[in-house]
Structure 1
Amino acid sequence: MAMAMPKSPKFHVAMFPWFAFGHMTAFLHLSNKLAQRGHKITFMLPTKAQSQLQTLNFHPTLISFHPLSIPHVDGLPPGAETASDIPIFLTHLLATAMDRATDQLEAALRASNPDFLFYDCSHLAPVLASRLGIKAICYNVVCAASIAIALVPARGVSKDRPVTEAELALPPSGYPSSTAVFRRHEGRALQFISAPFGDGISFYERITTAMKESDAISIRTCREIEGNLCDYIGTQYGKPVFLTGPVLPEPSPTPLEDRWAQWLGGFKPGSIIFCAFGSQYILEKDQFQELVLGLELTGLPFLVALKPPTGATTIEEALPEGFKERVGGRGAVHGGWVQQPSILSHPSVGCFVSHCGFGSMWESLMNDCQIVLIPHLGDQILNTRVLAGELQVAVEVEREENGWFSKESLCKAIKSVMDEESEEGGSVRKNHAKWKETFASPGFMSNYVDKFVGQLQGLLDHN
């Protein structure tokens, strides 16, 4: 009689992501993959976020949400718990609130006694984990390029030596990429790294400490596109670097809302431009108007899902004069949340105009639509350079020296990939199809997670 193979051991993971939905959902996607393999998860999150994330918990018997009460910090609006509740310039206060919840985190860890603590933006978490005998994994849900160019010891930033815009436009010593870089006028996009991010600590110090004090660094990426950058990070920190792969969510069982299904269904396949910039970034009114005018200029149907711009309470009041009358039924501008993955997979959508946040980057790669990028923040700029420079699957909208784009430059970028006769459009479509085939090949995603689980088990066995 054949002997039964021994079952692989199961472990318990505590998750403590940065209080922003892009980070919490990425941690929850990984939690689902681990739970699918029988591992137990205790997921720390702000109280109000629990109801919003509940539908993404596909293994509620193994993934337990542990709500944290967010302490009050002077300057934070009452009831603010996540980055979506506040403007970007107040996120340093949310970091302070997160740090003040560390006593709640400690109580939860003592009660649940996990094997691992996964975190990203907490410099206190790995110290706490070490004291409790828990392995600390700094899990980064941004691209490896953004860590390697801005958040490595070779950058040498401190409170006493803030980094200049000119310095940030130069890669640190040993940085291994010539395409995933900042341009001269983009150094300002990373000046925040030397700014305060919590009480008495800068963003740079916070994140580099989080990685220095870890047992291992983990990154939501794959070797096929960022292997050299991951190796550089490991060398810089002297830590093992574990890659999870893209960790894409399962397709949502919820059908697309009727209003959007009907509207999208009214246009021919591959004809619609879909534009979305994530849940946090808010455009200035002038740039918002330039954006929608650029989409109008293409002559193609379009759907825009953005927050109202600065100074506007609704998206409608911010629209240019006469815009709605001119575009008629071929243009829809929405100021609320939409089901982005479902929209991207709709056959009528042919182009995605994106800020290139890391989640949107992977969603665009796994769909067939052409990709046009308008990054705003530091990591989005690096994501954009990976797609447009390294992989050559997208085009980036040209900008002025002040960082703004014009309606003409947006229209030009969209036309370059949407016109059937466009040589550039054919080239990026061909490259996109090749990479999508790689990422969607049988076992590609699951093999990364399986290897990652083995690496975690190796950490435990090494004790």
Structure 2
Amino acid sequence: MVVSRITFAGVNNEGHSRVSGHGFIFGMLISFSLCTFSCFHKAMKSRPLHIAMYPWLAMGHQTAFLHLCNKLAIRGHKISFITPPKAQAKLEPFNLHPNSITFVTINVPHVEGLPPDAQTTADVTYPLQPQIMTAMDLTKDDIETLLTGLKPDLVFYDFTHWMPALAKRLGIKAVHYCTASSVMVGYTLSPVRFHQGTDLMESDLMEPPEGYPDSSIKLQTHEARAFAAKRKDTFGSNVLFYDRQFIALNEADLLAYRTCREIEGPYMDYIGKQFNKPVVATGPVILDPPTLDLEEKFSTWLGGFEPGSVVYCCFGSECTLRPNQFLELVLGLELTGMPFLAAVKAPLGFETVESAMPEGFQERVKGRGFVYGGWVQQQLILAHPSVGCFITHCGSGSLSEALVNKCQLVLLPNVGDQILNARMMGTNLEVGVEVEKGDEDGMYTKESVCKAVSIVMDCENETSKRVRANHARIRELLLNKDLESSYVDSFCMRLQEIVEGI
């Protein structure tokens, strides 16, 4: 299927050149040509491919790869999904095509400093994630043995920088499937950045690289400082984090992004020119509706409030806040005066969220505030009619889930790609409001949290009106099933061409 696409560019009121995301959405006319059936027919007619998957050992990456597997399996392709046992147990319920998607178990070697039986980042604290990467690197020989036996046409990967060379040796095409946005990859990992190496200064990172399609997307001082420091960090097997990412991109046969060109097209084009690689979009890969019901404790609690009145807050399964961040967050939620559900991990130094609460907090918010320290069914919570606002850390997965629901977005990024995702959502597409932080220290306050929530929840506020309108248009775009199908069909055709050497 083919969708006609038009991109608008311009200059914003501050004089920055930019890709006008919301202007494009406003002006978009989606028309399906006679090629619609033709492309679908070609995609179905092509021989089934055998695809191996080996994503980074973090559940957000694992689930993102599996969601794509489900879309590929519908089209007749065979998937061998390589994953450790504990991750497999969590992924099994999301395998919608078990006859086409086979889990291949791999044992994760123990690395000094890791807890016994640690297999994914969910089993460790954030500072120990590099050791998980080291353990994953140690599976290289086992992966070679598996791929030699499986004989797939392609292998999808992300953090394993050694995969392209291994795949080439075995005659397998290597596809770098990036769950982070092309906005982030273009800003931080383009060759013009890479060749500056560890000499890259904070001041350099505060501005986008040469040729970047949107000069309005920038970093604050504290963010640039963190990115500069990250460039000097090793991440598994004595490899610098950015060297790992650059090699993984630079040696791939194909670069793929979980997005659509209507939103990230100019950034994808920039990456393609920088790396001299073919770059394709898989489409938004919208999750199929869950077959399970929302847990009763949450459905009952949410059901006690008016439609669109509850503020939901979640920072993903890996984010652990510092104690002062945690306090400002929950006090900010209290300050809104609105009902709220916060699904956040206990802050650093605390065993439970209850023990980290400010004195008297639970009594003050009793009946309207629910702070929960465990995993929640986010997709179902976001779809609940009582939820009107989502405070998100701006992880790509959470944003994908949020944009197809009606809740308004408050953007509170923490690290890495979340920051640039927030800039795109808040500055470019204007579908959310970012919480104000100190430029130097990166701290937000209870007042800044409350302010951002109050803006998006006030239907009469001009900013809220604009954000709601932009969000509604993007939601309509993303929920267009023909659009998603066209992307997946085109992606399958591109995979076929890569395998056939076209």
Which ranges in structure 1 are unaligned for 5 or more consecutive residues? none
Aligned mates of 2:216, 2:402 — CA distance in 1: 20
> Is the contact between residue 158 and residue 205 of structure 1 (CA under 8 Å) also seen in structure 2?
no
* Superposition deviation, residue 420 in structure 1: 2.9
Query: In the alignment, does 2:93 pair up with 1:39?
Result: no
Name the residue aligned to 1:233: 271
Worse-matched range after superposition: 112-121 or 195-204: 195-204
Which one of the candidate residues 363, 384, 387 is aligned to 1:325? Answer: 363
Aligned mates of 1:47, 1:389 — CA distance in 2: 41
Name the residue aligned to 1:173: 210
Q: Secondary structure at the match of 1:398?
A: coil
* Superposition deviation, residue 158 in structure 1: 6.9
* Superposition deviation, residue 282 in structure 1: 0.3
Name the residue aligned to 1:243: 281
> Is the contact between residue 39 and residue 62 of structure 1 (CA under 8 Å) also seen in structure 2?
yes
Name the residue aligned to 1:357: 395
Name the residue aligned to 1:134: 172
Instruction: List per-residue Cα deviations over 1:113-134 (Å, max 9, x = no partner).
Output: 0000000001111111000000
Q: Aligned in 2, Cα 1:143/1:246: closer, same or farther, shift over 3 Å?
A: same
Aligned mates of 1:185, 1:311 — CA distance in 2: 23
* Superposition deviation, residue 189 in structure 1: 3.1
Which ranges in structure 2 are unaligned for 5 or more consecutive residues? 1-40
> Is the contact between residue 163 and residue 194 of structure 1 (CA under 8 Å) also seen in structure 2?
no
Name the residue aligned to 2:111: 73
Give 2:204's aligned amino acid. E
Q: Secondary structure at the match of 1:64?
A: strand
Query: In the alignment, does 2:338 pair up with 1:265?
Result: no
Aligned mates of 1:392, 1:173 — CA distance in 2: 24
* Superposition deviation, residue 166 in structure 1: 2.4
* Superposition deviation, residue 162 in structure 1: 4.4
Aligned mates of 2:300, 2:222 — CA distance in 1: 43
Name the residue aligned to 1:316: 354
Q: Secondary structure at the match of 2:45?
A: coil
Name the residue aligned to 1:408: 447
Q: Secondary structure at the match of 1:23?
A: helix
Aligned length in residues: 459
Q: Secondary structure at the match of 1:154?
A: helix
Name the residue aligned to 2:426: 388
> Is the contact between residue 273 and residue 351 of structure 1 (CA under 8 Å) also seen in structure 2?
yes
Which one of the candidate residues 200, 210, 231 is aligned to 1:163? Answer: 200
> Is the contact between residue 478 and residue 484 of structure 2 (CA under 8 Å) also seen in structure 1?
yes
* Superposition deviation, residue 421 in structure 1: 2.3
Worse-matched range after superposition: 67-76 or 133-142: 67-76
Which one of the candidate residues 329, 334, 342 is aligned to 1:304? Answer: 342
* Superposition deviation, residue 226 in structure 1: 1.1
Aligned mates of 1:199, 1:158 — CA distance in 2: 22
Query: In the alignment, does 2:154 pair up with 1:116?
Result: yes
Instruction: List per-residue Cα deviations over 1:28-58 (Å, max 9, x = no partner).
Output: 0001100011100000112211101110111
* Superposition deviation, residue 247 in structure 1: 1.0
Q: TM-score, length-normalised on structure 2?
A: 0.89
> Is the contact between residue 194 and residue 246 of structure 2 (CA under 8 Å) also seen in structure 1?
no
Query: In the alignment, does 2:463 pair up with 1:439?
Result: no
Q: TM-score, length-normalised on structure 1?
A: 0.97
Give 2:238's aligned amino acid. G
Name the residue aligned to 1:205: 243
Q: Secondary structure at the match of 1:187?
A: helix
Query: In the alignment, does 2:488 pair up with 1:449?
Result: yes
Q: Secondary structure at the match of 1:137?
A: strand
Give 1:413's aligned amino acid. A
Q: How large is the Cα RMSD of the aligned pairs?
A: 1.5
Q: Secondary structure at the match of 1:324?
A: helix
> Is the contact between residue 158 and residue 194 of structure 1 (CA under 8 Å) also seen in structure 2?
no
Query: In the alignment, does 2:466 pair up with 1:427?
Result: yes
Worse-matched range after superposition: 165-174 or 258-267: 165-174
> Is the contact between residue 370 and residue 417 of structure 1 (CA under 8 Å) also seen in structure 2?
yes
* Superposition deviation, residue 103 in structure 1: 1.0
